[in-house]
Amino acid sequence: MRNVVLALLALVALPLLQACDLGSGASPGAGADSVTCRNAAATMVSLDRTEAQLTRLGVLDQGPAWLRTFARGFLDARRIALQDCVRLNEVQVVGSHNSYHVEPQEPLFSILAAISALAYDIQYTHPPLATQFSDQGIRQIEIDVWTDPSGGLFARRFGNVLANLPPYSDNPAMYEPGFKVIHIPDIDFVSTCETFVACLEEIRAWSDAHPRHLPIAVLVELKDDPPFVPLSELAQPLPIGAPELDALDAEIRSVMPPAKLLTPDDVRGAHATLEDAVRSAGWPTLGETRGRVVFLMDNGGTKRALYRAGRSSLEGRVLFTNAVPGDADAAFVKQNDPLADPGLIEDLVREGYLVRTRADADTHEARTGDTAPRDAALASGAQYVSTDYAVPDPRFGTGYRVDLPGVATGAAGRCNPVNAPVFCRSAWLEAPHP
């Protein structure tokens, strides 16, 4: 009798499952086509209803093993495929601030702290980029770059002279031409990847090994600040102008092939301006952008103006600029303080822009345990919430960290709390196809 009941369950279950397959043409691993995405909400409702019916029938916990496996795999595969219809700007991820940064080591740190309490603002360290991606779920990073067209400009570290440590870098790449990755020359110079190319290569290697990852955003800050004191012994940074901005694009393209990049041209398509594209047509879907990298410019002002000169919608460029809403290049907007203007970030997100904000700054929140900026940042819907504390710093004793609410610790992303579609499921956003 039991076998007869199970057989009947199987006969009932199969039509229910087939009803969920709407003939969209999508298949696990192949992404989702336009028909699938137009029907995504209805399909998710059908999947949820079918799961509820199968649960009531006992198929998912009492049916034959083969049927349980088939039914669960069928439902999971279709839910995962539907996540390819979620758009890039409909996801929220945790980012890391100055992602390459390693705090000054002793005795240099104590020397700096004796000179100024500001030294405590830089007392944070990130693991290598690949570790952040794999172990902390980070999907947005920040890299500071300084131009060094001849090589060797930042190879000598004056801080190490003060600390009676070897003053010259032992990394041959620091003597070669190319952008260097440093927080503050001479005093806060330790990086997990000391050249921009080295950082890019680490990003690409991890991306190639994890082809279904959510798009990784790289925020690039262009630095050419003069030395903190006028001493000839200090490195004298060179200005970043139009030629250097072209060189930056070229350096990125030297490591990242076109298929790995998501550029302003890709997003703009046939629209008159980049802003028109993101506000009317929207950002590409996850199905179109998995495994890709998007570069964002941290700077505004002169550097943004130089970068978009003669290219009002960033034609031919790699980076999306930190733009002003209403301008032709407006697709990404930086709003670092989530408490400064309540509602502003949410409004920008609803209008179609990508937004980066910060949960903490200068170690203050981690030392005090203040979670107000973090909580406001996460609730705002900003797609990129940057922190120095994807994991707590045990030295501060507050347990402060930044995790995405409602998902597992270290998850790569969640459905955006402001603009995610009803069929978005956080647990499936970066799941491999079964």
Report residue 158's pLDDT band, with 50, 70 and 90 as the boundaries: very high
pLDDT for residue 217:
98
Q: What is the pLDDT of residues 162-183, one digit of tens each?
A: 999 999 999 999 999 999 999 9
Report residue 6's pLDDT band, with 50, 70 and 90 as the boundaries: low
Give whole-number Cα distances, 193 to 59, 145, 177, 223, 257, in Å: 52, 11, 15, 16, 20
pLDDT for residue 11:
43
Q: What is the pLDDT of residues 323-374, one digit of tens each?
A: 999 999 999 999 999 999 989 999 999 999 999 999 999 999 999 999 999 9
Query: 50: closest CA among 26, 28, 72?
Result: 72
Give whole-number Cα distances, 398 to 151, 306, 363, 429, in Å: 42, 43, 12, 31
* pLDDT tops 80 at residue 32: no
pLDDT for residue 9:
56
Q: What is the pLDDT of residues 281-293, one digit of tens each?
A: 999 999 999 999 9
* pLDDT tops 60 at residue 306: yes
Residue matched to tokens 């009676």: 164
Q: What is the pLDDT of residues 219-239, one digit of tens each?
A: 999 999 999 888 889 999 999
Q: How far is residue 338's CA from residue 378's CA, in Å, rounded to a whole number?
A: 9
- Mean pLDDT (the chain) is 92
Q: What is the pLDDT of residues 401-417, one digit of tens each?
A: 999 999 998 899 999 99
Q: Compute the half-sphere exposure of residue 79: CA atoms within 13 Å on the CB side of its CA.
A: 24
Report residue 59's pLDDT band, with 50, 70 and 90 as the boundaries: confident
pLDDT for residue 4:
39
Q: How far is residue 220's CA from residue 144's CA, in Å, rounded to a whole number?
A: 6
Pick 113 or 3 by higher pLDDT.
113
* pLDDT tops 70 at residue 212: yes
pLDDT for residue 123:
98
**What average pLDDT does range 86-97 have in this prediction?**
98
Pick 182 or 25 by higher pLDDT.
182
pLDDT for residue 8:
46
Is residue 145 within 8 Å of residue 196, measured between CB atoms?
yes
Side chain identity at 6, as an amino acid letter? L
Is residue 248 within 8 Å of residue 297, measured between CB atoms?
no
Q: What is the pLDDT of residues 256-301, one digit of tens each?
A: 999 999 999 999 999 999 999 999 999 999 999 999 999 999 999 9
pLDDT for residue 79:
87
**What average pLDDT does range 150-158 have in this prediction?**
98
pLDDT for residue 78:
87
